[in-house]
C-alpha cells in the first residue's frame, strides 16, 4: 500500500477512506466505539462524543461514496448513487464560511456529532477540489484492493496503490487475458 500523504486536510479524507481495508476485510470503523475513537483521534469529534449504530452506518455510507469518487479519479466510471449519497450527507452537515485569526476563509460545519465529522470531511474534499489537488486522490484500480492513495506521478496517471503489488498483478492479469484471447 502506498504511503504518500495527501496535502493538507485532504490526507484526512485519504485516511478516512482507508479505514476499510477491502483486501484484508478489516474495518477500523467496526462498531460505534471504534468510530468514536477514530473520529476523536483525527480531530473530527470530541473524545466525550458518543455515537450509535445509525452514526456508524452514516459514516460508512459517506466513506464508500468518497471511495467511489476516488475510483472515478483513477479512471473508473462514477458509481451510481455516490453523488446522491454525498449530497444527502452535505444537506445534513451544513457548512459555513469562517475566517481564522490570519484572515483566511475556510468551511466549518455548523452541526454536532456525526454531522460535524461528515461536514469536516466534505469541507476537506471541497477545499481540495478548489485547490486542484483532488484529482490526484485516487483509489486503487485493483477491485480487490481499492486502497486510497495520493498520486505523485508527474503526469497524474497512477492507477494502483503501488506498482510493486497491485500494478504488477493487474498488468500480469491483462497480459494473460490478451494472450488467452489470441487465436492459436
For residue range 83-127, what is the model confidence (pLDDT) as tens digits? 999 999 999 999 999 999 999 999 999 999 999 999 999 999 999
All structural domains of the chain, each given as residue ranges with its CATH number in brackets, are: 10-181 (1.10.3300)
* Among 9-18, 40-49, 151-160, the least confident range: 151-160
Long-range contacts (CB closer than 8 Å, 24 or more residues apart) made by 82-91: 85/61, 86/62, 86/122, 89/58, 89/61, 89/62, 89/65, 89/118, 89/122, 90/119, 90/122
φ and ψ at residue 26, rounded to 5 degrees: -100, 130
Whether residue 168 is predicted with pLDDT greater than 70 in this model: the reply is: no
Tell me what pLDDT residue 1 has: 53
By CB atoms closer than 10 A (0-12, 13-18, 19+), residue 101 is exposed
Q: What is the mean pLDDT of residues 147-158?
A: 82
Instruction: List, in sequence order, the alpha helices (H) in 45-167.
Output: 53-73, 82-92, 113-131
Cell readout for 36 is 468514536
Rounded CA separation 99/147 (Å) = 34
Radius of gyration for the chain, computed over Cα atoms and rounded to the nearest angstrom: 18
- Helix/strand/coil for 120: helix
State percent of the chain over pLDDT 70: 84
pLDDT class for 77, splitting at 50, 70, 90? confident
Position with higher pLDDT, 118 vs 144: 118
pLDDT class for 175, splitting at 50, 70, 90? very low
Cell readout for 84 is 446522491
Whether residue 45 is predicted with pLDDT greater than 50 in this model: the reply is: yes
Tell me what pLDDT residue 112 has: 94
Position with higher pLDDT, 170 vs 126: 126
Amino acid at each position: 500500500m502506498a504511503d504518500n500523504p495527501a496535502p493538507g486536510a485532504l490526507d484526512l479524507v485519504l485516511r478516512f477512506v482507508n479505514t476499510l481495508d477491502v483486501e484484508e476485510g478489516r474495518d477500523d470503523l467496526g462498531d460505534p466505539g471504534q468510530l468514536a475513537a477514530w473520529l476523536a483521534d483525527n480531530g473530527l469529534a470530541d473524545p466525550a462524543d458518543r455515537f450509535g449504530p445509525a452514526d456508524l452506518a452514516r459514516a460508512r455510507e459517506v466513506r464508500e461514496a468518497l471511495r467511489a469518487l476516488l475510483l472515478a479519479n483513477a479512471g473508473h466510471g462514477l458509481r451510481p448513487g455516490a453523488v446522491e449519497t454525498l449530497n444527502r450527507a452535505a444537506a445534513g452537515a451544513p457548512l459555513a464560511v469562517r475566517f481564522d485569526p490570519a484572515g483566511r476563509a475556510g468551511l466549518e460545519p455548523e452541526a454536532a456529532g456525526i454531522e460535524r465529522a461528515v461536514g469536516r470531511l466534505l469541507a476537506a474534499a471541497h477545499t481540495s477540489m478548489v485547490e486542484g489537488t483532488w484529482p490526484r486522490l485516487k483509489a486503487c484500480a485493483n477491485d480487490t484492493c481499492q486502497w486510497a492513495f495520493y498520486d505523485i506521478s508527474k503526469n497524474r496517471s497512477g492507477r494502483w496503490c503501488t506498482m510493486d503489488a497491485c500494478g504488477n498483478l493487474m498488468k500480469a492479469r491483462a497480459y494473460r487475458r490478451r494472450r488467452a484471447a489470441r487465436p492459436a
